[in-house]
Amino acid sequence: MGVSNQLNKIKGGSDALQTLSRQSVDDKLTRYLLNADHPVGGSKAKWFKEALGYTQSNMDDLAKQIVFDPTKAVQTGVTEYGTKLNQSISITGANGKVIDVTFAWMKSAEDDVVRLVTSIPTKK
């Protein structure tokens, strides 16, 4: 299946799939990206706090901005687990700054849900 066909398949999605995708954003922010104590995500939590003013206490405002858009996603690979996609999203910080942040997503081969995997913070 070509890239355009795969992305067209990703565009389709029930409300249930979109809800699961949204839950993945909340979970990834709580447990990883905004968790200052996480051994890997801690540095990202520091970046989100310093660059955009986001912490776990105000993560809802950040989560609302992290929405998968298949028309803006770029396929970066396919694994046994699913299709890897990157998407740049302009994030408006709690501090008023606007920074483009790249988010990595995975469309599961098992259940077709697009889940947030990580973010790739840009330089301030």
pTM of the model: 0.83
For residue range 15-51, what is the model confidence (pLDDT) as tens digits?
766 767 889 999 999 999 999 999 999 999 999 999 9
Low-confidence ranges of the chain (pLDDT < 70): 1-14, 16-17, 19, 123-124
Q: What domain range is 16 assigned to? A: 3-120
Tally Cβ neighbours within 10 Å of residue 37. 7
Tally of domains within the chain: 1
Q: How far apart are CA 74 and CA 105, in angstroms?
A: 10
